[in-house]
Chains A and B, each alone.
Chain A
Amino acid sequence: DAGITQSPRHKVTETGTPVTLRCHQTENHRYMYWYRQDPGHGLRLIHYSYGVKDTDKGEVSDGYSVSRSKTEDFLLTLESATSSQTSVYFCAISRDGLAEQYFGPGTRLTVT
């Protein structure tokens, strides 16, 4: 398995609170991605990073921000959580933009 960990693995939070999810990799891959998975939608890209401090928006970026201050860490922040952000969040990494992506174990987030 690719060396990707996500923390926390499960979280329950209240509407309106900020939440930060962490993705950590030990592969020294350049690209990192955040996805959300919802029934019937497959996975949808939220944000991605192509290097330290270099990030870009994906398909469903509204309400989310990201930061990457080190190669190994990619943080996803929900500035003010809403019930529509209840989902399973997956981090992925790839060596470069053309290579296959490897996925972490996921974080199940519930916003009440």
Chain B
Amino acid sequence: AQSVTQLDSHVSVSEGTPVLLRCNYSSSYSPSLFWYVQHPNKGLQLLLKYTSAATLVKGINGFEAEFKKSETSFHLTKPSAHMSDAAEYFCVVSDEAGNMLTFGGGTRLMVKP
């Protein structure tokens, strides 16, 4: 079975500073990994996905994530935070068949002016 741990439930940054949201996963196979974002009272939007191609994955809105197999990590980064980035972010792993997603508990990102 697969699992995901998001290491911080809340992260606070100032506008214009870098963002780092940490995610570790556990899987017995080569996983597919995703980051989703949820703005308040909205559905989830796919930010980016890793499916065993390039280990550095670029997503929408300037976000990127790096797959590190040796560290079983898939951390999400952005060089410069914007106020509109304030939201909840979910790290997600799929099962081997791809049918079932397992979500981390979420990280709430706050951006201070």
Interface of B is mostly: loop
- Known interface pairs A48-B99, A100-B34; A42-B105 also in contact (CB < 8 Å): yes
Q: Which residue of A lies closest to B91 (CB)?
A: A42
The count of chain B contact residues (Cβ–Cβ below 8 Å) is 22
The answer to whether B90 and A43 touch across the interface, beta carbons within 8 angstroms, is yes
Number of A-B contacts (CB under 8 A): 53
The answer to whether B32 and A104 touch across the interface, beta carbons within 8 angstroms, is no
The answer to whether B43 and A104 touch across the interface, beta carbons within 8 angstroms, is yes
User: Which of A41, A50, A106 lies in contact with B43, CB distance below 8 A?
Assistant: A106
The count of chain A contact residues (Cβ–Cβ below 8 Å) is 26
The answer to whether A100 and B49 touch across the interface, beta carbons within 8 angstroms, is yes
User: Which of A31, A100, A105 lies in contact with B42, CB distance below 8 A?
Assistant: A105
Q: A43–B44 Cα gap in the complex (Å)? A: 10
Task: Kindly state whether residue A64 has any CB partner on chain B within 8 Å.
Answer: no
Shortest Cβ gap from B3 to chain A (Å): 11
Q: Which residue of B lies closest to A42 (CB)?
A: B103
